[in-house]
Amino acid sequence: MERYTEKDLIRIREEYGRRLEERKKRKIEPGKKYILTCGGTSCLSIGGEKSTYELFKKVVAEKGIEDVEVINVGCMRMCSEGPLVALYPGGVLYTRVKDEETVRTIVDALKEDNPYIDEDHHYKDPLTGEVIHHMWEIPFFKYQESIILGRVGLIDPTSIEEYIGAGGYFGLLRALRMTPQEVIEEIYNSGLRGRGGAGFPTGLKWKFARQAQGEPKYVIANGDEGDPGAYMNRAEMEGDPFALIEGLTIAGYAVGASKGYIYTRAEYPLAAELVEHAIQVAKEKGLLGQNILGTDFSFDIEVFKGAGAFVCGEETALIASIEGKAGRPRPRPPFPAQKGLWGRPTVINNVETLMNVALIMERGAEWFKGIGTQKSTGTKVFALAGSLNVSGLVEVPLGTPIKVLVEDIARGAPQGHTLKAVQMGGPSGGCVPIEHFDVGIDYESLRSVGAIMGSGGVIALDESSCMVDVAKFFIEFTKNESCGQCTPCRDGLVEMYDILTRITEGKGKREDVEKLEKLATVVKNTSLCGLGQTAPGPVLSTLTYFKDEYMEHVENKRCPAKVCLPLIEYYILPYACKGCTICAKNCPVNAISGDPGKLHTIDPEVCIKCGTCMAVCPFDAVVKKDAYEERGELYERSQH
């Protein structure tokens, strides 16, 4: 077993650092080539039976090409265009590489030193139509600042050498030369705040735990990323697991803990596997375990998999869960920093927070403070999804306006759609309407418009989303995930859900909206833990900005976005129907009748409103109609 010393780290950094520099070159050069395939869950799920990595390995071996190295890396971020493949030097990005044929085309192109292929497999800008080959010229990447994701998607997550080559473990090395108090001071000075959403200063949390009485102490990485629409932590763990381990080790040193846990979700099997592998390797190299890097400091890490409970993202519930109990939160204080796991002082930090820790210790607090705003330093990774042309993971300095994320990076809504809001912070967050898109993303500014930073999920909503339905969706989620311990959350959310259901079914009254608002405020103010306290956010923010949509449902029994099924009917436009019978053939419940060549009609009694007829009709003859659009009216319109 080879245990690394400082000298080894320096040697490896030089050797692998050089390789990485070569790999990052922007100019296409003859000689050794690196093919990076995205190994993120999303890209893997779009591909076929064999992953793009396996396909490239196979084709390169078959053709007997030397000087080409295929490396499976973490998430390459532009998930909507996946599976992604990058060629270095040059940073040429290939998109939608799903089949062996495309892989062969790319490998053949390598030989000719003209690596571009057909435009279907390169990024084509949805706004300008321009085909852009190189990653750093693509707007999606151009506007990002990648400090956390810099290594994700570039290095092999299973190689500790590549991690060291990219500067890894020099943060720990520096920390071990300082006293724990100095490390805490450094983190405090960097201004780093918790990336799990609440934004508590990390250095302060550490200081409390350091000063607290009780042995042993524990540090825990919170990777229980339960927010629907958020997968930053997964990509971070899958793409750069050593950084998390390094960050947690530094936390352990600073706080005085000898044991750390990485708590992740059962839904993320790949992340758990890669983190476990990294722990094993770090142990073998003496970067984890007894006497790390030859010092007196010993530290061990264990991976703990959650079992599917959103509330376990709350720190006291997470602790209960490790202790083998149902994940029910308990009142704070005492805070975990005083009484945590097994009643001992415990620090719980988000995965991304700890990855920042490793970087801050490597590059210094001053460097970190130079990024972001004065009160919110550093960057934040967001998961962009919803009605956007390009979507995936993005990292920007804190303080970046929402507009930059949505318009510059994600290139706005697809043609024919108009954005009306973004939902930020998941079930604990809120909806920010388009008129506030120039708000900078930092902890305070977002709170001022009724949203929260949250863990980083950003979902863009267009005119086809009903805001009442979105609010109902989140309340349904939090109602199901409530641990049931305190009354406001357990019963309040059920009552809110019932009201929202009534409204979306067209049975709501004006008083219901008032009652909903009142109830939301009570749940927010009186719940025991963060889940209940923040759960009304989606309702309160949509009531603030989109009350008109609620009122349409209540007063006119109409869903303007035509989403709420009880308020719509599918209808075939007589003038447009050619009697082609396709809709009738595809209807799963045989609700459509009509002779070939003649007008078809839908029986509303039988129809389950699945929308298949609308999707398959070649003449756009099937429409959704609501209370405003009586059949006659539609027919009349067709006559003009």
Partner 1 sequence: MSYELTYKEVVKGYLERKGRTTEIVLPVLEEIQEKLGFIPRGAIEYLAEILRISPSVIYSTATFYHFFSLEPKGEIVLRVCRGTACHVMGSSLIMGELFSELGLEDEGTTPDGKFTVESVGCIGCCSTGPNMVIIKDGKEEIVGHLTPMKAREIIRSLRKEVSESSVGVE
Nearest by Cα to 39 from 89, 4, 79: 79
Under rule CB under 8 A, residue 307 binds partner 1: yes
Give the C-alpha separation, 625 to 204, whole Å.
Answer: 56
Q: Which of 61, 108, 211, 269 binds partner 1 (CB under 8 A)?
A: 269
Span from 66-74, 111-119, 262-270, 357-365 in contact with partner 1 (CB under 8 A): 262-270
Find the shortest distance in angstroms from Cβ 95 to partner 1: 12
CB atoms within 10 A of CB 180: 18
Span from 3-11, 75-83, 112-120, 447-455 in contact with partner 1 (CB under 8 A): 75-83
Closer of 387 and 534 to partner 1 (Cβ): 387
Task: Tell me the sheet residues that pair with 69.
Answer: 34
Under rule CB under 8 A, residue 323 binds partner 1: yes
Q: Write the binding mask 433 to 472 for partner 1: x where contact by CB under 8 A, - elsewhere.
A: ------------------------x-x-x--xx----x--
In three state form, how does the secondary structure of 341-384 look?
Answer: HHHCCEEEEEHHHHHHHHHHHHHCHHHHHCCECCCCECEEEEEE
Closer of 127 and 589 to partner 1 (Cβ): 589
CA distances from 504 to 376, 423, 463, 558 (A): 39, 19, 17, 9
Under rule CB under 8 A, residue 383 binds partner 1: yes
Tokens at 422, concatenated? 């973004």
Under rule CB under 8 A, residue 608 binds partner 1: yes
Find the shortest distance in angstroms from Cβ 580 to partner 1: 16
Residues within window 565-594 making contact with partner 1, judged by CB under 8 A:
586, 588-589
Q: How many angstroms from the chain centroid is the CA of residue 596? A: 48
Backbone φ, ψ for residue 446 (5° rounding): -65, -40
- Rounded to 5 degrees, what angle do the CA atoms 549, 521, 460 make? 45
Closer of 348 and 360 to partner 1 (Cβ): 348
Q: How many angstroms from the chain centroid is the CA of residue 612? A: 30
Residues within window 121-160 making contact with partner 1, judged by CB under 8 A:
none
Q: Which of 90, 157, 286, 306 binds partner 1 (CB under 8 A)?
A: 306
Q: Write the binding mask 220 to 249 for partner 1: x where contact by CB under 8 A, - elsewhere.
A: -----xxxxxxx--xx--------------
- Decide: residue 506, CB within 10 A, 0-12 exposed, 13-18 middle, 19+ buried: middle
Under rule CB under 8 A, residue 188 binds partner 1: no
Under rule CB under 8 A, residue 266 binds partner 1: yes
Closer of 109 and 616 to partner 1 (Cβ): 616
How does 109-128 read in b/e, with b if 16+ C-beta sit within 10 Å?
bbeeeebbbeeebbbeebee
The secondary structure of residue 429, as a DSSP letter, is: S
Under rule CB under 8 A, residue 340 binds partner 1: no
| Sequence letter at residue 302 | E
Under rule CB under 8 A, residue 41 binds partner 1: yes
The secondary structure of residue 482, as a DSSP letter, is: -
Q: Which of 94, 123, 140, 310 binds partner 1 (CB under 8 A)?
A: 310
Contact positions vs partner 1 (CB under 8 A): 41-42, 44-46, 79-80, 82, 225-231, 234-235, 266-269, 304-310, 321-328, 383, 385-387, 391-392, 423, 426, 457, 459, 461, 464-465, 470, 473-474, 477, 483, 586, 588-589, 608, 610-612, 615-616
